[in-house]
Amino acid sequence: MDVAKARSQYPILTGPQPFIYADNAGGSQVPKTVVSRMVDYLLNTNVQVGADYVPSKVATRRVMEEGPTAAKILMNAASADEIVLGASSTMNVENLAQGLTGDIKAGDEIIITGEHEANGGPWKRLATRVGATTILWPHRPLHSANPYAVALVLDDLLPLITARTRLVAFTSCSNILGSVVPVADIVPAVRAKAKEMGAPKVEVCVDAVAYAPHKKVDVRAWDVDYCVFSCYKIYGAHVSAMYVRSDALKNSVSSVVHHFLKVPEVAYKIMPGGPGYESVYAITGVIPYLLSLTPDGEKLLEETGLLQDATADSMPLLTNPALPAALDTSWAAIAAHDHGLLAPLLAFLTHPDQWARGVRIAGDGGAFNGQSGDEDRTVGAAFKPHVAGRAPTVSFVMVESSNGKPQLGSKQIVEYFDKKGGIGIRYGHFYAFTLVSKIAPGGDPADGVVRISLVHYNTVAEVERIIEVLKEVLA
């Protein structure tokens, strides 16, 4: 992957005073290919959809066909009719929960996690409305030496499933821990256990917000019923896409739109209002951008005319049979680059010197002797970074040091970066309030964790600069 070429799409990264943006888990930068589509929409088709005059016909195709088709491809859904588009992932899941109010009954059980509240809060509120119960799938400590190294483990989920289980909601990647959760292993295990326990109907809702910037989302391979991600975290505009399986649209979800609208069994039935049209159309710019990261992808862009004109009709590309394989190549290139960013950062933060200083990784920071989850890990041993199954989203906290240096709060560390200037990182709970409340020193979710979140347009040189500043603040 040509990182310099990718970075050329982002003036903030390459201008006279280039900025190291390491807060990507909160929202990615937007490439020129996406911006050009938003501008083109607003300048040339900024009208209401559904009318018979020509600009409206063009706008209707862009908003009702092209945007949802692009989201369908990014999800690997079977049909664009299964794609809900909304202002945010939190709002999409809330609308889904409203739509399930008539299908989830008193006494039903909903299993949730302490991860981002977008896939927790709506289910808590639904349970309160109908008399159902929410049950927490807790994080398990991975290492006895580091209580902040926690993860979701399937063996802890299965005993929670009973004959009353109706919905299981979890994440495919933690926005705090960076851990990739094996959805393709969890879903069949959940369905098998539910069948064994006699549960009449169990559905699965996956939050892929922290996963989608780094890896291919594949709702069909995962066999999930619902899946959501935020396009503005995968290089798009501020809009969210949610997959709702066609069977669920027909048999589980009721309409939440205006009562006089007679909608068929398609995703529109849980799209009250809707996001900005230009943001929906901008999703069509994400796929050309991803393709531009590899030679195979660029070849396909040239064949479909999008290499020459970033605002050309996207349907020839979106319907091209070569597109899935080309996108797979791009995702593989992104994953390889992600690992290269992650390794030096984890190596520094898990070094014995940082352990003595009081630095503790939240999540799996590495593995002693290469064995992830080793309970007999030696404190202060040289940790081998464990990058498989992890996104380059790294959070850490500080505890009392063993070398006499003062303990620092997360806010203090980030403030030091802010004063230095030129680097953007964050601290806090990042809406994973329940999880961070349990792992933050002193149980203070407001101070929370320090989070450094990287994506493919970051460079190893930027990681090295971040490490330099960490050395200063930890000295």
DSSP letter assigned to residue 210: T
Domain count, the chain: 2
Domain containing residue 428: CATH number: 3.90.1150.10
**Distances in whole angstroms, Cα of residue 56 to Cα of each of 201, 413, 473:** 42, 51, 56
Residue 370's pLDDT is 31
Are residue 276 and residue 342 in the same domain, yes or no?
no
Q: 199-238 pLDDT, tens per residue? A: 999 999 999 999 999 999 999 999 999 999 999 999 999 9
Are residue 231 and residue 356 in the same domain, yes or no?
no
Q: How far apart are CA 311 and CA 75, in angstroms?
A: 22
**End-to-end CA, the chain:** 36
pTM: 0.94
Higher pLDDT pick, 85 / 380: 85
Are residue 82 and residue 178 in the same domain, yes or no?
yes
DSSP 3-state assignment of 112? strand
Final residue of a domain: which of 247, 263, 282?
282
Show the domain range for 458: 338-474
Average pLDDT, the chain: 93
Are residue 106 and residue 245 in the same domain, yes or no?
yes
Final residue of a domain: which of 282, 311, 329?
282
Are residue 373 and residue 235 in the same domain, yes or no?
no
Are residue 262 and residue 349 in the same domain, yes or no?
no
Q: What angle do CA 255, 259, 263 make, to 5 degrees?
A: 50
Q: 345-386 pLDDT, tens per residue? A: 999 999 999 999 999 999 887 543 233 433 333 333 333 444
In a domain, 247, yes or no: yes
In a domain, 29, yes or no: no
In a domain, 323, yes or no: no
Cβ(474)–Cβ(354) under 8 Å? yes
Residue 386's pLDDT is 42
In a domain, 11, yes or no: no
Q: What angle do CA 441, 429, 31 make, to 5 degrees?
A: 140
In a domain, 59, yes or no: no
Are residue 152 and residue 229 in the same domain, yes or no?
yes
β-pair partners for 427: 450
281 is written with which tokens?
């159309």
Residue 440's pLDDT is 82
Q: 63-73 pLDDT, tens per residue? A: 999 999 999 99
Are residue 105 and residue 217 in the same domain, yes or no?
yes
Residue 403's pLDDT is 74
Residues 410-436: what's their mean pLDDT?
Answer: 97
| DSSP E strands, 240-376 | 240-244, 359-362
- 57 burial level (CB within 10 Å; 0-12, 13-18, 19+): middle
Return all residues near 388 (Cβ < 8 A) that are at least 6 apart: none
119 is written with which tokens?
């896939």
In a domain, 19, yes or no: no
Report whether pLDDT(89) > 90.
Answer: yes
User: Considering Cα of 297, then 303, then 306, then 307, what sign does the dihedral take?
Assistant: positive
Longest dimension (CA), the chain: 74
pLDDT level of residue 307 (50, 70, 90 thresholds): confident
Domain containing residue 179: CATH number: 3.40.640.10
In a domain, 183, yes or no: yes
DSSP 3-state assignment of 146? strand
Q: How far apart are CA 286 and CA 22, in angstroms?
A: 20
pLDDT level of residue 265 (50, 70, 90 thresholds): confident
Are residue 131 and residue 250 in the same domain, yes or no?
yes
Cα 120 from chain centroid (whole Å): 15
Q: How far apart are CA 186 and CA 163, in angstroms?
A: 18
Are residue 240 and residue 130 in the same domain, yes or no?
yes
Are residue 345 and residue 273 in the same domain, yes or no?
no
Closest by Cα among 96, 240, 171, 69 to 434 = 171
Q: One-letter amino acid identity for 179? A: S
Are residue 173 and residue 71 in the same domain, yes or no?
yes
Final residue of a domain: which of 282, 301, 325?
282
63 is written with which tokens?
């908003």
Give percent above pLDDT 70 in the chain.
95
**Distances in whole angstroms, Cα of residue 32 to Cα of each of 3, 36, 292, 336:** 15, 6, 12, 24
pLDDT level of residue 404 (50, 70, 90 thresholds): confident
Q: How far apart are CA 74 and CA 65, in angstroms?
A: 14
In a domain, 8, yes or no: no
